[in-house]
A and B are shown apart, each in its own frame.
Chain A
Amino acid sequence: MPGPIQTVAETLNSQIPLEGFLIVAAVMFAIGAWGAVIRRNAVVVFMCVEIMINAVNLTLVAFADFLPDAGGIGASYAALIIAIAAAEVAVGLAIVLAIFRSRRTVNIDEVNSMRG
C-alpha cells in the first residue's frame, strides 16, 4: 500500500497521454473560433484567430512528439506556422489601420457600405 506522497510522485512521473493534448487543443480551437465569430472588434477577432492557430500548433507538436517516425519534422513545421500567423496579423493590422484612418472605427459590423 503506497503512501499518498508516493502516489503523487507516480502521477507526476507518468506520461500524459496524447489524447490529453488533443482535447486541450480542440477546446482551445473551439474557444478561438467562437470568439472569432461573435466578437465585433477586428483586433479582438485577430486575437481569437491567434488562439485558433496556437491550438493547431499544440496539436501538431503533440503529434510530432508521439508519432514514431515524424519526430523533429513536425516541430519544425510548427515554427513555420508561427511565422505564417505573424505574417497574417501583420497584413491584418495594416488593413485595420487603413480602415480606422478613414472611418474612426474597427467594428466589423459598422464597416459595411457594400450590400446585396
Chain B
Amino acid sequence: MPVTGAAIIGLLPEIIASVFMFVVLLGGVFAGERNSGIVGGLAVLGTLATFASAAVLLAIGFEGTFFGESYAVDNFALFFKLIVSGTAFFTVIAATRFAGSTGDAPEYMTLILAVVLGAMLLASMRDLFGLFLALELATIPSYALVAFDRSRRESAEGGMKYLVTGVIASSVLLYGLVLIYGVAGSANLTQVAEAFSGELTPVGLVGIGLMVSGFAFKLSAAPFHFWTPDAYQGAPTSAAAFLSVAPKAATFAVLLRILVEGLPGATATWTSIIAVIAILTMFVGNLSALRQRNVRRMLAFSSVAHSGYILVAFAAIQGGGQETGVQAILIYSAAYAVMNLGAFFAIDLVGEDAKSFNGLFKTQPALALCMGAFMAALVGIPPFSGFFGKAWVILAGAQSGSVLVYAAVGALVINSVISLPYYFGIVRNMFLEEPVSGGTAPKDDGGVRFSVYALAILTTIFILFFGLLVTLTGASGLL
C-alpha cells in the first residue's frame, strides 16, 4: 500500500490538527503559566486552519480512498470534519479564560485538539480496527476533559462515571467489531459488505448487536445513557458543550458509514434495532429532562433526546427514505451543533441553576435573546436551526415505508411537545420573572460571550445556509 501525494493532501486537516496539538503543548511550555492567552491563540489558530483546510478540500471537490481503501476522504467525511473543527473553534475561544484559571491551559487545549483529531479520523475510517483506534483517540482525552476542573468535586466524579461506563462500552463495541471481522475475514468495509450480503450467521448477528450497543453507549442512547447527565454536569462547561456535539457527530458519521457501506445486506436488522432504541431514547431523554432544576443536567438529558431524534433518521434509511435519511443525519448534526453548543456556553455566563436565568431579559437583554433563540431551536420552531433538522428527519421517515419508522416519527412529534415545558421554562424565567437580587453572578467572560453571540446568529440565520447544505448533503458521496 504505497502512500501517494494525494493521501497527504486528503489528510491535510488531520495533519494540521496533529501539528497544532504539539505546537500548543510545547508553546505552553515556552509561554509559561501566566500567558495562557498565547496558548488559547495558538489553539484558535489551529482549529481555524483545520476548518479552512477541510473547507478548501470540500470546495475543490476532493475525493479519494487511501491506504488500501481503509481511509475515505469524501464530501460526507469532510462535512463532518467541518462540524468538528468549527465547534472546536468556538470551544477554544470560550475555554481560554477557564483553561487559564486552572493553570493548565496547554493541557486543556491539547486534549481538545486530540479529540478533534480523533473525531476527524473517525469520520473517514473505512476499516473496523482503524475506526476503533480513532474512536478511542476521541474518547480517552474526553475522560480527562470531563475530570479537568479540580476546583469542583463533581468534575472528578463525572469523569470517573464517564470513564467506567466508557471503557466497558469500548470493550463491548470492540468485541462486536472483532466478531464482524471474524465472519467477514477482513476489516475493510468493502469486504465486510460482501460477506454480510447473504443470510446472517448467528456470530454475525451477535457482532452487529454488540457493535450497535457499544455505539449506543457512545451516543448516549437509552438504555445506555445513564453516564450522560453526570458527565456533563461534572465537566467544565466548555468541555461538556464540546463533547455533547463534536465527538457525537463524528460517531454518528462512522456508525452511518459502517451500516450503509459495510452492512447494506443487513439493513432490515439494524433499522429495526435502531428504531426501537430511538423511540426509547427520545422518551427517556425528554421525560427525565422535565424533572431537572439544574440547567446543565437538563441540557444533558436534552442531548440524549436529540440523539434519539437523529437515530430516527438512521431507522429511516430503508425503502424510499435512503437518500433523505442520510441527508437528515447530516443536516441535523449541523443544526444541533450550533444550537446545543451555544446553549451550553450560555450557562457559563448566567449560572447552572434554572433560577439564575430569572429576569435575564431585564439585566442582559442580548444574552436573553440568544438563549431564547437556542431554546426555540432545540424545540424545533422555525426559522431556527433545529426546525430544519427535525423537518428532514420527518420527511425521511415518511418516505421509508416502514410501520416501525412511522411509529418512531410519531414518537418524535409527541416528544417535541413533551420537550416544550422544560425549554420554555427557561424562556419564561428569562422574560417574565423578576431578577433574583443578591445572587452571585459568574464573572463576565469575553470569549464565551463572543461564542454565544456568534452561535446565536448562526442558529437564527441557518436558513441562509440551508440551500447550500441540501446541495452539499445531497452529493454526500455515501450512497
A→B interface (CB under 8 Å): 22, 29, 32-33, 36, 42, 45-46, 49, 52-53, 55-56, 59-60, 63, 67-70, 73-74, 77, 80-81, 84, 87-88, 91-92, 94-96, 98-99, 102-103, 108, 111-114, 116
Contacts and interface: CB of A to CB of B under 8 A. Distances in A.
B163 interface: yes
- Counting chain B residues whose Cβ lies within 8 A of the other chain, the interface size class is 35 or more
B171 A49 contact: yes
Interface string B175-190: 1001101100111000
A98 B140 contact: no
Interface string B28-44: 00000000000000000
Contacts of B174: 53, 56, 81
A95 B147 contact: yes
A84 B133 contact: yes
Contacts of B161: 108, 111
A45 B164 contact: yes
Contact of A29 (B143, B157, B175, B292): B175
A36 to B, nearest CB: 5
B181 A92 contact: no
Nearest to A112: B157
A63 B234 contact: no
Contact of B181 (A63, A99, A108, A114): A63
A58 to B, nearest CB: 10
B157 A111 contact: yes
B185 A67 contact: yes
A53 B181 contact: no
Interface stretch (B148-156, B254-262, B394-402, B433-441): B148-156
Given A84-B133, A114-B230, 9 more contacts: A36-B164, A53-B171, A53-B174, A56-B171, A63-B182, A92-B143, A95-B147, A99-B160, A114-B229
A23 B181 CA distance: 17
A17 to B, nearest CB: 14
A113 B153 contact: yes
B157 A99 contact: yes
9 contacts: A59-B179, A60-B178, A80-B133, A81-B132, A88-B140, A99-B160, A111-B160, A112-B157, A114-B157
A63 B184 CA distance: 10
Contacts of B167: 46, 49, 88, 92
B158 interface: yes
Contact of A49 (B136, B144, B168, B230): B168
Interface of B: 129, 132-133, 136, 140, 143-144, 147, 150, 153-154, 156-161, 163-164, 167-168, 170-172, 174-175, 178-179, 181-182, 185-187, 203, 229-230, 233-234, 291-292, 294, 297
Nearest to B136: A84
Contacts of A102: 153, 156
A22 B170 CA distance: 19
Q: Which 5 A-B pairs have the closest CB atoms?
A: A63-B182, A52-B171, A98-B156, A77-B129, A95-B159
Q: How would you classify the secondary structure of chain A's contact residues: helix, strand, loop or mixed? A: helix
A67 B182 contact: yes
A103 B156 CA distance: 11
A106 to B, nearest CB: 9
A99 B156 CA distance: 6
Contacts of B181: 60, 63, 70, 74
B160 A88 contact: no
A32 B164 CA distance: 13
Given A63-B178, A111-B157, A111-B160, A95 B185 contact: no
Contacts of A53: 171, 174
B129 A59 contact: no
Nearest to B170: A88
Contacts of A70: 181, 185-187
Contacts of A60: 178, 181-182
Contacts of B186: 69-70
Given A98-B147, A108-B164, A114 B154 contact: yes
Contacts of B229: 114, 116
B156 A59 contact: no
A87 B154 CA distance: 23
Contacts of B168: 33, 36, 49, 52
A77 B140 contact: no
B130 to A, nearest CB: 9
A1 B385 CA distance: 81
Nearest to A58: B178
A102 B203 CA distance: 45
Contacts of B136: 84, 87-88
B296 to A, nearest CB: 10
A98 B203 CA distance: 41
